Structure 1
Amino acid sequence: MASDLVNSLSPSYFSSMMNKTIETGDKPLLNLAVGIPDGKTPKVITDRVKSAIDQEENQKYGPFRGKTELKDSIKRFYKRTYGVDLQEENVAILFGTKNGLVNFPLAHYNPGVGIMLPNPGYADYITAVELVKGKAIDMPLLKENNYLPDFDALTEELKETDLIYLNYPSNPLGAVANKTFFDDTIERFKDSHIKILHDFAYAAFGFNEDHPSILASDPDFKTAIEIYSLSKGFNMSGYRIGFAVGNADMIESINRFQDHTNAGVFGVTQEAAIAALDHADELIPKQNEIFKRRKEYINEALINLGIPIQPIEGGIFGWIKVPDTFNGESFVDYLLKEQSILTTPGIPFGDRGENYIRFSLAVDEEILSTFVERMKEIKNLWENSASL
Structure 2
Amino acid sequence: MTISQRLKQVPDSYFGKTMGRKIIHGPLSLVNMAVGIPDGETPKGILDTFAEALYIPDNQKYGAFHGKEDFKRAIVDFYKRHYDVTLDKDEEVCILYGTKNGLVGLPTSIVDPGETVLLPDPGYTDYLAGVMLADAKPVSLNLEPPDYLPDWSTLSKETLKETRLVYLTYPNNPTGSTATHEVFEEAVNQFKGTKTKIVHDFAYSAFGFDHKNPSILQTPDAKDLAVEIYSLSKGFNMSGFRVGFAVGNKDMISALKKYQTHTHAGMFGALQDAATYALNNCDDFLVQQSDTFKKRRDFFQTQLDDAGIPYEPMKGGIFIWIATPTGYDGEEFVEFLLRDQSILVAPGIPFGENGRNYVRVSLALDDAQLEEAARRLKTLAPMYKNNI
TM-score per shorter chain, which class?
Answer: over 0.9
Q: Where does structure 1 lack aligned partners over 5 or more consecutive residues? A: none
| CA deviation vs aligned residue, 1:11-53 (integer Å, no higher than 9, x gap) | 1111111143211100000000121211100011011111111
CA distance in 1, matches of 2:86, 2:363: 33
Partner of 1:364: 366
Whether the aligned pair in 1 keeps the contact of 2:111 and 2:165 (CA below 8 Å) is no
1:307 aligns with 2:309: yes
Q: Hey, what does 1:233 align to over in structure 2?
A: 235
CA distance in 2, matches of 1:185, 1:36: 28
1:197–1:224 CA contact under 8 A, matched in 2: yes
CA contact (8 A) 1:169 1:205 kept: yes
> Which residue number in structure 1 is paired with residue 84 of structure 2?
83
Q: Distance in 1 between matches of 2:265 and 2:226?
A: 26
- Structure 2 CA distance for aligned equivalents of residues 384 and 7 of structure 1: 41
Shift of 1:219: 4.8
Partner AA of 2:14 in structure 1: Y
State the match for 2:199 in structure 1.
Answer: 197
Q: Structure 2 matches for 1:98-117, cutoff 5 A?
A: 98-117=100-119
Is residue 84–residue 219 contact of structure 1 (8 Å, CA) maintained in 2?
no
Aligned to 1:152: 153
1:53 maps to: 54
How far apart are the structure 2 equivalents of 1:8 and 1:237? 29
Query: Partner of 1:246 in structure 2?
Result: 248
The residue type paired with residue 214 of structure 1 is I
Task: For residue 75 of structure 2, give the secondary structure of its aligned residue in structure 1.
Answer: helix
Q: Secondary structure at the match of 1:357?
A: strand
Q: Does 1:37 align with 2:38?
A: yes
Deviations 1:261-286 (A, max 9, x none): 11101001101110110023211001
Partners of 1:318 and 1:279 lie apart in 2 by: 30
Contact 2:216 2:222 in 1 (8 A): no
Deviations 1:135-162 (A, max 9, x none): 0111110126x21010011133212211
**Residue from 343, 368, 371 that aligns with 1:341:** 343
Alignment deviations for residues 176-235 of structure 1 (CA, whole Å, 9 cap, x no partner): 000111112212211111110000000000112210000000456101000000000000
Q: Secondary structure of 2:102's match?
A: helix
Corresponding residue of 1:278: 280
Query: Is 1:319–1:356's contact at 8 Å kept on the other side of the alignment?
Result: yes
- Aligned Cα RMSD in Å? 1.1
Deviations 1:304-361 (A, max 9, x none): 2100011110001110110011111111000000000000111000111111100101
- Partners of 2:222 and 2:362 in 1: CA distance: 36
1:8 counterpart letter in structure 2: Q
Contact kept, 8 Å, 1:32 with 1:362, in 2: the verdict is yes
TM-score (norm 2): 0.97
Q: Secondary structure at the match of 1:315?
A: coil
Q: Aligned equivalents of 2:353 and 2:154: distance in 1?
A: 19
Poorly superposed stretches of 4+, deviation over 4 Å: none
Distance in 2 between residues matched to 1:322 and 1:9, nearest whole Å: 27
SS in structure 2 opposite 1:260?
Answer: helix
The alignment-based identity, stated in percent, is 47
2:366 equivalent to 1:355: no
Q: 2 CA distance for matches of 1:223 and 1:281?
A: 28
Which TM-score applies when normalising by structure 1?
0.97
